[in-house]
Amino acid sequence: MAEPDDKIRCDACPVLCYIRPGMTGACDRYANRDGELVRVDPHVLLERTLQDGGEVVPFMIPAREWSGDILNAPTPIVTAIGAGTTYPDYKPAPFIVSSKVDGIDMVTVVTEGIYSYCGVKLKIDTDRHLGPECATVRAKGEPVGHVTTGEYGSQMLSLGGVNHLTHGGKKEGRVTCETLLDLCSRKAVELTVDGGATVIVQAGLPPVVNGETEERMRVGCGSATIGMFAKQWYGKVDEVVVVDDHITGVLSEHQAGKLLGARDTGIKMKGRRSTPGRYFHVAEPGTGWGGANISDPLEIVAGFDKKVAWSGLTMLMVSTTGEQHAFYRLDDSLNPIEAPLPDTLRVSVERIRENCEPALCSVLFMGGAGGSLRAGVTENPVRLTRSVRQALTTVTAGGAPVIVWPGGGITFMVDVTLLPDNAFGYVPTPAIVAPIEFTMRLDDYAVLGGHVDHVRPLQDILDERRKKSADRDTMLAPARGEA
Amino acid sequence: MRILPQQSRLPDGRLHLHDGPIDLIIEAFGEVAAVETAYAAAWRRFAAILDELCAELPLLREQATSTGARPSGVVARRMADAVAPLCVARFITPMAAVAGAVADEILRVMTIGAKLRRAYVNNGGDIALHLLPDESFSIGMVDRPDRPSLIGSAMISGRDSVRGVATSGWRGRSFSRGIADAVTVLASSAAQADAAATLVANAVDLPGHPAVGRTPATALDPQSDLGERPVTIDVGPLAPHDIDDALTAGLDEAERLRRAGLLQAAALRLCGRTLLCGAEAVQTAERLPVRSKCEVGQRMENLAV
């Protein structure tokens, strides 16, 4: 319990509340923060609402015919979806919302940005080769992006950007814009990579590579898989090769096998040996076993050393996802002959599969709030940037959290699955229209040169929306986030 | 620095009045001129109401007794009158009716010089209603202000005697000594509903239950009219029989008040379960229009977890 001395007296109204530290007065508007009388922190609402199940959809709560006020409804988050904007954005952003009614002097500057500089980063969970790095990615035959550096268990594509949107041909810009919009709207998009695969990408769903649905991410690279399962294989099989386009692992040579005392098998692998039991470039990249261009795993085995190998030697070959596997026994002339997989090994193959996570496509929208967009928020755009840097202003996109890049400007990325449906749009410029909100304290807003005279109480916007929605229910993005 | 009372009109024409802890949303229905007259009257009366109340605050924070000093202000007297029939064998102060009494008073001045078909004054969920005999209001009920969902509705007709609606619960703005998520009461005035909802919500309780967190009211608000009396600050998971016990205790209190004519109907809500008193006046979620049924069902499930 606080010391009696810590309480402060609020003189904002004749109730003259004594307010204990950390508490609010009778009005819920003023609080005692460390002995200082303050307005309640503006960010609390947004965070609290998100935590409570993400009721991040704007403007009104559906299925409520009676006006919300009589129910003492909580404050919904106002998002920029459907806010509309002008371009260039020299006028104050469409909604600058001040919620005083619910006790918090919060300002959410709500606008829909028009992003000529924007794109999506695609993470496609697959080891299958989609195409060489830097290869052009096409939609409907038009170049819309390229293959960029691969990441763990995933292929990365970078699509859109100012060059495809505005510097290419007219058709290129239009198709790029369409592709970005579809990806951001969580629709399926077919992409082809020059010299590579055709892949169907849809946010939150498995990729379809050359007509085959990818099911699982690999458990690790071939070498890592050897390390993980060596103990389970030792004593049950003489040799294990984990086929992987990046690093193929060989049990008998691998450090993990040596430690267990695995016997040399005299296996000769194709490709380049990196360290014992680890092989690079055993084949060309492809969409076969372990992301290599092979359908018969024996293609990567050059043979067996006659001085070391023996008749009856057993070998398991398995991919990094466990989806492909084959079992062999050497005949008298040391040729591997395929045989049924023994049950003792089936368990380990199934375990590899079990440890592979579902393969999905992730779509991050990336955009930059340009000078003109920022001018819609404040008369002095650079101060908005500084305010974001100082964490005085929170940036969200359709109510969803964003990653803001360090460095100049306000360049951010957001997972499109966190935004409500129909959050993105486009203009024929061509450019993508996406929601962006800047949330800050009203007094901070004034300091950064905000359009304070255009600030409107939240309730006004709610009511205006409510009126409009009477004729046009479709204007409202349906609620998400209960899942 | 005293922030002066404020009035504004919402885009749809409703009147919003604000002063300190009082926040009113007002809507009147009738001829345009009558509505404007009523709104002007509301604002004239409102501007003085908080100062008037604060002048008598110490007295209004004291336990109501049948023999104690009577306050002099019009709103203060409405408060005292609302709690007077309830103070026998119960601790209650006139503050239990403050929100409803303010709503009643503003509604009263609105209807003196203007012919209105119907009108409401909503003071943060405590609502005063004006209705001509052929008019009606439908009222939605929400149990948790932090998780909005309609848990039921009530249709109030001008031919009923109901002219006030109020909701009380520990999650709301005022302290509660009970554990109800929400108790919504329909009564003859907003002040009466306000006071009755407070008592019924207090009665929805599990004394001594380990899952219920309590703290002296003065630890939260040094000037609370509840003094050192414990108020609810947390309700942990409850077994179904606990929920039943607590709701049944509340229902007994509600029935007692109903028989005394101090409320017409009440909906008691705890952990996703609802008990009704005077059920013919209230619809629960199951009987809500189909359009919202699905959503309400979903939310109710969430609440029950």
- Average pLDDT value for residue range A110-127: 78
Minimal C-alpha gap between B299 and chain A (Å): 9
Lowest-confidence segment of A257-271, A393-407, A425-439, B272-286 by average pLDDT:
B272-286
For residue A188, pLDDT over 60 is answered with yes
Is A466 within 8 Å of B54 when comparing Cβ atoms?
A: no
Whether A37 has its CB under 8 Å from any CB of chain B: the answer is: no
A88: preceding bond cis by omega (within 30 degrees): yes
Is A13 within 8 Å of B3 when comparing Cβ atoms?
A: yes
Residue numbers of chain B with a pLDDT score lower than 50: 145-150, 283-305
* Gap between the Cα atoms of A83 and A67, Å rounded: 22
- Average pLDDT value for residue range A406-428: 81
pLDDT tens, residue by residue, A338-393: 999 999 999 999 998 888 888 899 999 998 876 556 666 666 767 777 777 777 77
Whether pTM > 0.90 for this model: the answer is: no
Domain CATH number, residue B42: 3.10.520.10
Residue B264 resides in a domain: yes
Whether A26 has its CB under 8 Å from any CB of chain B: the answer is: yes
Nearest to B148 among A4, A12, A73 (CB): A73
* Gap between the Cα atoms of B195 and B79, Å rounded: 8
Nearest to A72 among B57, B124, B150 (CB): B124
A430: preceding bond cis by omega (within 30 degrees): yes
Residue B164 resides in a domain: yes
B245 phi, psi to nearest 5 deg: -60, -45
Residue B1 resides in a domain: no
pLDDT for position A106: 39
Neighbouring C-beta atoms of residue B117, cutoff 10 Å: 16
Q: At which residue do the structure tokens 């709301």 appear?
A: B172
Calculate the average pLDDT of chain A. 76
Chain A residues touching B297 at Cβ < 8 A = none
Is B1 within 8 Å of A55 when comparing Cβ atoms?
A: no
Nearest to A14 among B20, B219, B221 (CB): B20
pLDDT for position A423: 74
> Is A193 in contact with A159 (CB distance < 8 Å)?
no
Beta bridge partners of A373: none
- Token pair, residue B208, equals 């001594």
CA-closest candidate to residue A34, choices A66, A6, A68: A6
* Confidence tier at A438 by pLDDT (50, 70, 90): confident
User: Residue B164 is part of which domain span?
Assistant: 6-304
Closest chain A residue to B126, measured at CA: A70
**Ordered DSSP codes for A364-414:** EEEEEE-HHHHHTTBSSHHHHHHHHHTTSSEEEETTEE-EEPSSSSEEEEE
Minimal C-alpha gap between A418 and chain B (Å): 20
pLDDT for position B3: 74
pLDDT for position A200: 96
Is B20 within 8 Å of A457 when comparing Cβ atoms?
A: no
Q: At which residue do the structure tokens 């009372």 appear?
A: B5
pLDDT for position A116: 67
Lowest-confidence segment of A145-149, A168-172, B252-256 by average pLDDT:
A168-172
End-to-end CA distance of chain A: 39
Minimal C-alpha gap between B260 and chain A (Å): 27
For residue A243, pLDDT over 90 is answered with yes
Chain A residues touching B57 at Cβ < 8 A = 15
pLDDT for position B33: 94
Closest chain B residue to A480, measured at CA: B295
Q: pLDDT higher for B171 or A165? A: A165
Picking from A10, A15, A55, A465 by the largest number of B CB atoms within 10 A of its own CB, the best residue to mutate is A15
pLDDT for position A414: 93
Minimal C-alpha gap between A99 and chain B (Å): 13
Q: pLDDT higher for A219 or B72? A: B72
pLDDT for position A452: 62
pLDDT for position A2: 40
Q: Sheet of B282-284: strands edge to edge?
A: B136-144, B147-157, B282-284
Minimal C-alpha gap between A430 and chain B (Å): 35
List CB contacts of A188: < 8 A, sequence separation 6 or more. A182, A200, A201, A202, A205
Which helix (H) or strand (E) element contains residue A39? strand A36-39
**Helix B98-112 crosses helix B32-54 at what angle (to 10 degrees)?**
140
For residue A56, pLDDT over 60 is answered with no
Chain B residues touching A67 at Cβ < 8 A = 14, 27
Whether A6 has its CB under 8 Å from any CB of chain B: the answer is: no
Residue type, B198: T
Is B139 within 8 Å of A464 when comparing Cβ atoms?
A: no
Residue B107 resides in a domain: yes
Is B54 within 8 Å of A16 when comparing Cβ atoms?
A: yes
- Token pair, residue A433, equals 């229209």
Is A13 within 8 Å of B2 when comparing Cβ atoms?
A: yes
Of the ranges A18-22, A394-398, A452-456, B300-304, which is most confident? A18-22
- Average pLDDT value for residue range A413-421: 85
Domain boundaries, chain A: 4-39, 43-116+370-475, 118-217, 232-354
pLDDT for position A306: 93
Is A482 within 8 Å of B298 when comparing Cβ atoms?
A: yes
Is A13 within 8 Å of B21 when comparing Cβ atoms?
A: yes
* Confidence tier at A99 by pLDDT (50, 70, 90): very low
A168-197 residues touching B, CB cutoff 8 A? none
- The complex's ipTM works out to 0.79
DSSP state of B241: H
Minimal C-alpha gap between B126 and chain A (Å): 8
Nearest to A63 among B16, B50, B295 (CB): B295
* Confidence tier at A461 by pLDDT (50, 70, 90): low
Whether A470 has its CB under 8 Å from any CB of chain B: the answer is: no
Number of separate domains in chain B: 1
CB-based burial label for B276 (10 Å; 0-12, 13-18, 19+):
middle
Report the Cα B238 to chain-centroid distance in Å. 25
Is B12 within 8 Å of A467 when comparing Cβ atoms?
A: yes
In the three-class reduction of DSSP (H, G, I as helix; E, B as strand; rest coil), residue B212 is classed as strand
